[in-house]
């Protein structure tokens, strides 16, 4: 994008985990960033880093409500809209499922209308959850998914599917230039320790000296993408000249079991890590792995951060946060309770 | 339901095809009916029949907008809410896909909130379209479907899936007592002649003396349920004491090809019927047939109107409407153009 001096890039959800990394990278690229966030699940401290940049503005607001006047009065100068606004962890998005659905549908609709009014290009961050519990592996974009529309995860999964529908309809009607990213598991610094994702859960438990909770037997797989790789893909997707409107998977193809993730973390900590097993939650997908051939072909992108390098940076960040919070707590230690299994 | 003298049954979409039949049956049962409809795709003449009943009230309003004050001021006396409000034919719901999505999501949310405030029982009319182009036959309710969330039908299919999600979330949170019907193809008097459904299309073409348009080769199947059977099922579902919240398929298990439907209509008209073939539209399902074992078990319901009897009533109604419109037009005749095939 040619950066005009008076143009803005709007990042909805810009105070969140991926959002704050995206804002920083956009600021480093010389873009002026208007961050809209309701601070529902964001770490407010993510804003501290961003507010050091003179080209950064923060507006508190919830996209399921009418957009704040501070955003609307910039309509004519908004050139790019990234929509990352929605709680993304099951424990957080299930706390108020109605709000989750409306954030995805009403919120995305408001931002699409803003894109239409401003002529801005619009990027929706969708999710691998649109594939539900997939029955083909890896998942290509044309796969229609295996989603329960009545289960407890549906507010997020179906909300994102409906948001994609809106984006494609705006594109088909010539109302906006849209891009749709389907983001697979992402990890890195600035995640919430309590957001219920497996990497932050595990690191939090290590730092608290607790055993690691594995849901089920640990044989379910995930593919973890380091957040800087994800952000690189989002910006490429926004800026690319694309021959067609199509969803694009963004994630890491390296698939590992939860048990293998525990092992990798053990290597980083340099200690044997204790685990406990709990029942799998309803509709928890057993396997998830992106087919990223489309991102490779259309964006010349693939993840470049090896898992151990990414986990090491993430662990170091959490440890320093944890140290700051607990005023130099003792180093991680390992419980030994006989009823618990080890990996 | 015990009909209290001051209680109301709200029927959103009550001026539409199924809605107007439902309103009439409820009125005949002694219920007071508040009909909320935006008249977007409804036949206004459907209201003529209903307005003869003293217990019928009509309010014009669009459920994707704040509910009209005439509805809200009855909040305390509303006991039942049927949501049938949404254009249901591809040509109509695709004309404004954003409105279709918001009708399903925002509209259903508003009515669910009204159910929560009033303590009314809520019934969502969902659709067989939540199964998309199914890869199992017949479709049981636990089948998760094969829906493209980015295609031109998604505004309806994903809109209805998202509406189901909201209904189940309201149920799970204890906010409302909900029922979800997945309605398969329904036909009968009071359909719009121009609404693009196959039965009304064919009858309209016969009455205009035009050849019948078959999309594809006519081997795709449908299962047609006569509207009085559908309405019977909806009322049973609303009034039943159900052990669990679950979607329930409502439709006719008798599956026939489009070519067989043409043949049945030919028998009714008593003439050979001419056809033309056109290309299948995008995402048009090739087969669709309900598994109604759940409706049989939980509602003691199954369709009782044979296809030929239902088609005969429907044809007679269209013919009398057509006669009224065209002031005694000549009887249906058959074109003979050599390039067109016959069935």
Tens-place pLDDT, residues B81-103: 999 999 998 889 999 999 999 99
Confidence of residue B283 (pLDDT cuts 50, 70, 90): low
Pick the closest to residue B94 from B134, B148, B154, B18 (CA basis).
B154
For residues B94 and B313, what is the distance between their CA atoms, to the nearest angstrom? Answer: 30
For residues A111 and A125, what is the distance between their CA atoms, to the nearest angstrom? Answer: 12
Pick the closest to residue B311 from B254, B268, B262 (CA basis).
B268
Fill in the DSSP letter of residue A104: I
Confidence of residue A3 (pLDDT cuts 50, 70, 90): low
Give the tens place of pLDDT for each residue, B41-64.
Answer: 888 889 999 999 999 999 999 999
Chain B residues lying within 8 Å of A182, measured CB to CB: none
CATH code, domain with A74: 3.40.50.720
Kindly report the nearest CA distance between residue A126 and chain B, in angstroms.
12
Looking at the domain assignment, is residue A312 inside a domain? no
pLDDT of A342 above 50: no
Q: Mean pLDDT across the stretch A75-101?
A: 96
* Residue B55, burial from CB neighbour count under 10 angstroms (0-12, 13-18, 19+): middle
* Residue B277, burial from CB neighbour count under 10 angstroms (0-12, 13-18, 19+): middle
Rounded to 5 degrees, φ, ψ at A172 are -60, -35
pLDDT of A125 above 90: yes
Asked if A105's CB is within 8 angstroms of B150's CB, the reply is no
- A276-285, B125-134, B175-184: least confident range: A276-285
| Alpha helix positions (H), chain B | 17-28, 45-50, 69-72, 90-93, 97-102, 108-118, 154-172, 198-207, 227-239, 258-269, 293-299, 307-326
Confidence of residue A203 (pLDDT cuts 50, 70, 90): very high
Kindly report the nearest CA distance between residue B82 and chain A, in angstroms.
19
3-state SS track over A297-325? HHHCCCCCCCHHHHHHHHHHHHHHHHHHH
- A211-215, A231-235, B110-114, B230-234: least confident range: A211-215
A296 CB neighbour count, 10 Å cutoff: 12
Q: Mean pLDDT across the stretch B21-30?
A: 98
Rounded to 5 degrees, φ, ψ at B84 are -115, 15
Of B98, B147, B164, nearest to A169 by CB-CB distance is B98
**CA terminus-to-terminus distance, chain A:** 48
Q: Mean pLDDT across the stretch A135-147?
A: 96
Looking at the domain assignment, is residue B139 inside a domain? yes
Q: Interface of chain B against chain A, CB under 8 Å?
A: 97-98, 101-102, 105-106, 109, 130, 132, 144-152, 154-155, 158-159, 161-162, 164-166, 168-170, 172-173, 180, 246-247
Q: Nearest 5 degrees, angle CA B206-CA B211-CA B215?
A: 110
Q: What are the respective helix, strand and coil percentages of chain B, to the nearest 5?
A: 40, 20, 40
Q: Contact A82/A21 with Cβ under 8 angstroms?
A: no
Query: What does the pLDDT read at residue A338?
Result: 32
pLDDT of B37 above 70: yes
The two tokens of residue A165 are 């529908």
Active-site residue among B82, B131, B156, B226?
B156
Positive or negative, the CA dihedral A66, A67, A69, A75 is negative
Q: Mean pLDDT across the stretch A315-321?
A: 94
Rounded to 5 degrees, φ, ψ at B180 are -130, 115
Q: Contact A116/A153 with Cβ under 8 angstroms?
A: no
Query: What does the pLDDT read at residue A85?
Result: 98
Give the tens place of pLDDT for each residue, B142-169.
Answer: 999 999 999 999 999 999 999 999 999 9
**Furthest C-alpha separation in chain B:** 64
Chain A residues lying within 8 Å of B130, measured CB to CB: 149
Kindly report the nearest CA distance between residue A148 and chain B, in angstroms.
6
Give the tens place of pLDDT for each residue, B237-268.
Answer: 999 999 899 999 999 999 999 999 999 999 99
Q: Mean pLDDT across the stretch A179-187?
A: 96
Q: Mean pLDDT across the stretch B8-21?
A: 97
Confidence of residue B13 (pLDDT cuts 50, 70, 90): very high
Q: How many residue contacts between A and B have a Cβ separation below 8 Å?
A: 115
Active-site residue among A156, A187, A215, A226?
A156
Chain A residues lying within 8 Å of B132, measured CB to CB: 144
Asked if A144's CB is within 8 angstroms of B144's CB, the reply is no
For an interface test with B, the pick among A150, A154, A161 (most B C-beta atoms closer than 10 Å) comes out as A150
pLDDT of A280 above 90: no
Pick the closest to residue B200 from B210, B191, B209 (CA basis).
B191
* Residue B183, burial from CB neighbour count under 10 angstroms (0-12, 13-18, 19+): buried
Q: Contact B21/B28 with Cβ under 8 angstroms?
A: no
For residues B316 and B190, what is the distance between their CA atoms, to the nearest angstrom? Answer: 11
A29 CB neighbour count, 10 Å cutoff: 13
- B34-48, B273-287, B326-340: least confident range: B326-340
Q: Is B131 in the active site? A: no
Pick the closest to residue A67 from A29, A6, A109 (CA basis).
A109
Q: Report how far apart, in Å, the C-alpha atoms of A132 and of each of A153, A283, B143 are.
A: 9, 8, 13
Looking at the domain assignment, is residue A60 inside a domain? yes
Give the tens place of pLDDT for each residue, B226-235.
Answer: 999 999 999 9
Chain A residues lying within 8 Å of B154, measured CB to CB: 161, 164-165, 168-169
Q: Are strands A121-127 and A177-183 parallel, antiparallel or unpaired?
A: parallel
Of A149, A154, A165, nearest to B101 by CB-CB distance is A165
Whole-number CA gyration radius for chain A: 20
Pick the closest to residue A85 from A44, A37, A20 (CA basis).
A37
Chain A residues lying within 8 Å of B148, measured CB to CB: 144
Kindly report the nearest CA distance between residue B132 and chain A, in angstroms.
10
Paired with B249 in beta bridges are B182
pLDDT of A153 above 70: yes
Kindly report the nearest CA distance between residue A45 and chain B, in angstroms.
32
Chain A residues lying within 8 Å of B109, measured CB to CB: 98, 101-102
The kind and range of the H/E element at B299 are helix B293-299
Query: What does the pLDDT read at residue A325?
Result: 64
Q: Are strands A221-223 and A255-257 parallel, antiparallel or unpaired?
A: antiparallel
State the total domains in chain B. Answer: 1
Confidence of residue A2 (pLDDT cuts 50, 70, 90): low
Rounded to 5 degrees, φ, ψ at B83 are -105, 100
For residues A16 and A83, what is the distance between their CA atoms, to the nearest angstrom? Answer: 11
Positive or negative, the CA dihedral A138, A140, A141, A146 is negative
Pick the closest to residue B236 from B286, B304, B168, B139 (CA basis).
B304
Looking at the domain assignment, is residue A264 inside a domain? no
Chain A residues lying within 8 Å of B174, measured CB to CB: none
Looking at the domain assignment, is residue B93 inside a domain? yes
- Mean pLDDT in chain A? 91
- Mean pLDDT in chain B? 91
Q: Contact B318/B204 with Cβ under 8 angstroms?
A: yes
Q: Report the share of chain B in percent with pLDDT over 70.
A: 93
The two tokens of residue A177 are 């230039």
Q: Which has more confidence, B153 or A330? A: B153
Looking at the domain assignment, is residue A295 inside a domain? no
Q: Interface of chain A against chain B, CB under 8 Å?
A: 97-98, 101-102, 105-106, 109, 130, 132, 144-152, 154-155, 158-159, 161-162, 164-166, 168-170, 172-173, 180, 246-247
CA nearest to A95 within chain B? B173
Looking at the domain assignment, is residue B221 inside a domain? no
Q: Nearest 5 degrees, angle CA A131-CA A132-CA A138?
A: 50
Query: What does the pLDDT read at residue B265?
Result: 94
Chain A residues lying within 8 Å of B98, measured CB to CB: 109, 166, 169-170
Query: What does the pLDDT read at residue B207?
Result: 93
Asked if B164's CB is within 8 angstroms of A150's CB, the reply is yes
Chain A residues lying within 8 Å of B159, measured CB to CB: 162, 165
Give the tens place of pLDDT for each residue, A255-265.
Answer: 999 999 999 99
Q: Contact A15/A37 with Cβ under 8 angstroms?
A: yes
CA B204 to centroid of chain Cα atoms: 18
Looking at the domain assignment, is residue B256 inside a domain? no
Q: Which has more confidence, B271 or A97? A: A97
Fill in the DSSP letter of residue A73: T
* Residue A250, burial from CB neighbour count under 10 angstroms (0-12, 13-18, 19+): buried
Query: What does the pLDDT read at residue A229?
Result: 98
Q: Mean pLDDT across the stretch B294-311?
A: 97
For residues B45 and B278, what is the distance between their CA atoms, to the nearest angstrom? Answer: 32
The two tokens of residue A327 are 């005023």
Query: What does the pLDDT read at residue A130?
Result: 97
| Domain carrying residue A238 | 8-186+225-250
Query: What does the pLDDT read at residue B326?
Result: 57
For an interface test with A, the pick among B66, B124, B149 (most A C-beta atoms closer than 10 Å) comes out as B149
A295: left (phi over 0), alpha (psi -120 to 50) or beta: alpha
Of B97, B148, B164, nearest to A144 by CB-CB distance is B148
For residues B20 and B43, what is the distance between their CA atoms, to the nearest angstrom? Answer: 9
Kindly report the nearest CA distance between residue A27 and chain B, in angstroms.
32
Query: What does the pLDDT read at residue B26?
Result: 98
């Amino acid at each position: 994008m040619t950066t005009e001096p008076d143009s803005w890039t709007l990042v909805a959800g810009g105070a969140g985990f991926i959002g704050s990394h995206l804002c920083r990278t956009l600021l480093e690229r010389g873009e002026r960033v208007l961050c809209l966030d309701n601070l529902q699940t964001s770490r407010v401290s993510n804003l501290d880093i961003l507010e050091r940049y003179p080209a950064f503005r923060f507006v508190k607001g919830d996209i399921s409500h009418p957009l704040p006047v501070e955003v609307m009065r910039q309509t004519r100068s908004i050139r790019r809209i990234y929509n990352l606004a929605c709680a993304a962890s099951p424990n957080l998005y299930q706390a108020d499922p109605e709000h989750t659905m409306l954030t995805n549908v009403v919120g995305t609709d408001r931002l699409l209308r803003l894109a239409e009014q401003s002529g801005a290009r619009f990027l929706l961050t969708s999710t691998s959850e649109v594939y539900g519990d997939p029955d083909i592996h890896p998942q290509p974009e044309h796969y229609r998914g295996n989603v329960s529309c009545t289960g407890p995860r549906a507010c997020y999964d179906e909300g994102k599917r409906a948001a994609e529908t809106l984006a494609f309809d705006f594109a088909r009607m010539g109302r906006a230039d849209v891009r749709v990213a389907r983001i697979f598991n992402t990890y890195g610094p600035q995640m919430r320790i309590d957001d219920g994702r497996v990497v932050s859960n595990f690191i939090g438990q290590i730092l608290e000296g607790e055993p690691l909770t594995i849901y089920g037997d640990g044989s379910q797989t995930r593919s973890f993408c380091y957040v800087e790789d994800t952000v690189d893909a989002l910006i490429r997707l926004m800026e690319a000249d694309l021959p067609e409107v199509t969803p694009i998977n963004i994630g890491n193809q390296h698939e590992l079991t939860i048990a293998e993730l525990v092992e990798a973390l053990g290597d980083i900590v340099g200690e044997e890590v204790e685990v406990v097993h709990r029942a799998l939650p309803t509709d928890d997908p057993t396997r998830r792995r992106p087919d990223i051939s489309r991102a490779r072909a259309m964006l010349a992108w693939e993840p470049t951060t090896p898992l151990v390098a990414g986990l090491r940076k993430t662990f170091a960040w959490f440890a320093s946060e944890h140290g700051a919070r607990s005023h130099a707590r003792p180093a991680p230690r390992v419980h030994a309770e006989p009823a618990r299994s080890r990996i």
